[in-house]
Every structure is written in structure tokens, then in C-alpha cells.
Amino acid sequence: MDKLIIRGGRKLSGEVSVSGSKNAALPIFCATILAPGLHEISNVPFLRDINTTIKVLESLGAVVEGNGHVVRIDATNVNNVEATYDLVKTMRASVLVLGPLLARHGRARVSLPGGCAIGARPIDQHLKGLKALGAEINLTHGYVEAKARQLKGARINFDMPTVGGTEHLMMAASLAKGETVLENAAREPEIVDLASMLIQMGARIEGAGTDTIRIQGVSELSPVSYRVMPDRIEAGTFMIAAAITAGDIRIANMQLEHLDALVFKLQDAGVDIINKEGVVRVKGPKKIRSMNIKTRPYPGFPTDMQAQFMALMTVADGASVIAENIFENRFMHVSELLRFGADITVEGNSATVKGVKKLSGAPVMATDLRASACLILAGLAAEGETEVSRIYHLDRGYESIEKKLAGLGADIVRVKE
């Protein structure tokens, strides 16, 4: 197993380029099932979660090839309708093949994903939506079995805005008969990206990016070439890397407007952010000001940036309160941050972080993807050496982050444990 060794204290400088979005690419890959033929997806990040999705698609009969950043998916022979536990357990998002398989073949059998490190993460809203489209759903032996001769459009009101649920129903409804209306839909940019791809495939979708999405079903979709949007969470992580090291960096290939909630907080905390001709310059102050945040569905503050923002607040001037409202167990990084000498107390879904003068490097363990990023950020700011182990979580969602940070002047290396 690999680990990262970081010697903190260097101010970051220079330019870094953001990879394609993991959370946009995953549903986009699943959407290829909807249209037989050859799809070409570009700006694909080179990540373990992408490899898992490729394995899932191959297990269903797709032929996948490519060099990492451009992936060609021939969905012509997707004739197997079962996604097994072995594949789904390693990545929850693979459950998103259920709707597309059902829409194309009238049946599907997909392992029910279990809970994960950050929460129980049920898929009841996905199943409620598919049922509303006329699917018969049975849960047996840990699998979801779904059947429907022809999905039929329906009005679906989500109990909460769910990113995966909205994506799942948008895909399935694209091939349903008649109109589907998704209410209380999630509004994340990744949903808009998936909708753009589906529209290019021939789907009739309006309102993606708002809380009401209307889909007029069509009888067939065509394969496409599609470029995945930049990863807003990777971009946000680099912004905090600049802020926490009092650095001055430029970030290319990012869409700043996807990160408004973070940008406003960082600016209020004293960070300079200038968007010039598509490259964003981020300059950290000598001392960051403390800021309270509450995670919310988009356009609120993203839960996927909560851990990284907390790392920043550990060295802020004053105390901040960080409330996590999306996932019930997303504070696993707190006990690791304490090992750096951070001052944090947790009560329920709220963490109070009192800024300390300096963090001191320590051996720490990553518990999930964004927690891994949080520990790296703390390591960059800390005095002395930090060792981050269990970084396989990191490899699920950040493409070569240690190389990108080293390119900005960080002292960080990957070693075999």
C-alpha cells in the first residue's frame, strides 16, 4: 500500500491544471448504456473509480478502450443485465446502471450498495422514482431486481435533493413513454453536464440545474462524443491549498462559477481570487480569518469541500463552526486533524474549530476520499513531516494530486508502505 510523505511549510506557487470531473464522468459512463453504438468520452480523469465503472460496463457486455483521458465505449452488446455485488460494493455510483439497463432491456438486476464511511446512503429515492415510472422492484438476496416492459413518464417528487437519484431518473425517463417531471431535483453542475450529454444523444430534457426537470421520453438515443466538465472539487481543493500555505497559484481548466459558495467564504476569509481569461489566481493571506459554514445541496456549500475547509479553519484566526447537513458521519477526519494539534470539538453534526498558531506534522490515516485531501492540506501547512497512509481512498477521486502539488512547489512524495 502507498503512503504520502509531506514536509510542510512551503508556500505554493505556479500553475496547476484541473482534471475532468469524477462525479460527472461516472453517470456519463452509465448513460452510454442507453444508446447502442460507439461513444467517445474525453477529459476523463484517470482514477480508480473510473476503472471500476469501466469494469462494470465491461461486465455488462460493453467494449471499452482508451488511454485514460479519452475513453471509447461501445455499448452495442450491453446484453447482460446484472451488476454484481463484487463490483457495486467497491463503488456505490455503479448502482446508476440500473435505470439505463431497465430502460433499454426492460429488466435489470443490480446489487444493492451498502452503507459507506460517510453515512448510510440509502437509494430509496432512486427506487421510488423507478417505481413511479412503472417498474416492478423486488429486493432479494441483496439485489435490486427491476422489471418494466415500457417505462412510462410520471411526476416524481424527491423527499430531498439527491444528486444520484436525479441523475438516475433523468437517464431512465429519457427512454420512457411520455413526460416525466422531477420535482425537488438536485441542481449540481454534474447534473447539468449529464443532461447536456443526454440532450446531445437525442433526449428531450429541460430545466436541469433547477429544482424542476422536465423530460419528454424518446424511443431511442444515439451514441455521442462528449467532453466531461472540469472537477470543481479538485479545483476547490487547490484553492484551499493556496490559502492554507499563504501561497499564490494559478488554476487552469476550472469553472469558477461552479464554486460560488466556497469562493465567497474564501474571499471573506481574506483570500484573493481573480479570474482572468479562464485561469484563476488564488493568493492566500498571511493569516486566514475564521468563517462558519453549513453544507447544503448546490448552490450551497458543498459537503465534498467540508473536510478541506475544516483543515483551513484549524489555522485560522479565531473560532469557526462547521455544520455538516448532507451526510451523518462525515467528520471522520476530525480525530486525524487532532493529531496535528488542531483544536476541534464535535457535537452532533456541528464541529467547533478553534484556530491554532501552527499545526505539527504527524502520521495520520485517510478514512475517505475528501478526508484524504483534508489531511494532505493540513500536512502542507504543518511544521515538520506528515505521513498520510491508506491513500487508496485518494486514488479513487484525485488524479495524481501529489504530482500536481509537487509541481506547485510542495514537498510531497508517494512511497510504498
* Strand 107-111 versus strand 82-83 pairing type: parallel
- Contact between 165 and ligand EPU per CB under 6 A: yes
Task: Give the nearest distance from C-beta 251 to ligand EPU in angstroms.
Answer: 19
- Contact between 164 and ligand EPU per CB under 6 A: yes
Tell which positions 376-405 bind ligand EPU, by CB under 6 A: 397
Q: Write the binding mask 64 to 103 for ligand EPU: x where contact by CB under 6 A, - elsewhere.
A: -----------------------------x----------
Catalytic, out of 38, 63, 116, 246? 116
314 backbone dihedrals φ, ψ, rounded to 5°: -65, -20
Q: CA-to-CA distance for 398 and 377, rounded, in angstroms?
A: 13
- Contacts with 221 (C-beta within 8 Å, 6 or more apart), sequence order: 34, 35, 174, 175, 198, 201, 202, 203
Contact pick of 68, 122, 142, 318 for ligand EPU (by CB under 6 A)? 122
- Contact between 21 and ligand EPU per CB under 6 A: no
Q: CA-to-CA distance for 153 and 358, rounded, in angstroms?
A: 57
Q: Is 30 a catalytic residue?
A: no
Tell which positions 179-218 bind ligand EPU, by CB under 6 A: 186
Contact pick of 9, 37, 61, 119 for ligand EPU (by CB under 6 A)? 119
Chain-centroid distance, C-alpha 382: 27
Which part of the chain contacts ligand EPU (CB under 6 A), choosing from 134-142, 157-165, 248-256, 352-360?
157-165
Which part of the chain contacts ligand EPU (CB under 6 A), choosing from 58-66, 115-123, 142-150, 169-177?
115-123
Q: CA-to-CA distance for 347 and 339, rounded, in angstroms?
A: 19
Q: CA-to-CA distance for 301 and 263, rounded, in angstroms?
A: 10
Q: Match 501529489 to its residue by C-alpha cell.
A: 402
Q: Write the binding mask 125 to 144 for ligand EPU: x where contact by CB under 6 A, - elsewhere.
A: xx------------------
Question: Is residue 184 exposed (0-12), middle (13-18) or buried (19+ Cβ within 10 Å)?
Answer: middle
- Contact between 304 and ligand EPU per CB under 6 A: yes
- The residue whose Cβ lies closest to ligand EPU is 164
Count how many Cα atoms sit within 13 Å of the Cα of residue 287 in the half-sphere of its side chain.
9
Tell which positions 327-366 bind ligand EPU, by CB under 6 A: 327
Alpha helices per DSSP H over 247-400: 260-268, 306-313, 332-338, 369-381, 392-397
Total number of residues shown for the chain: 417
Nearer to ligand EPU, 165 or 217 (CB): 165
Task: Give the nearest distance from C-beta 329 to ligand EPU in angstroms.
Answer: 10
Q: Which residues bind ligand EPU (CB under 6 A)?
A: 23, 26, 93, 119, 121-126, 160, 162-165, 186, 303-304, 326-327, 369-370, 397
Hey, which residues are catalytic here?
Answer: 116
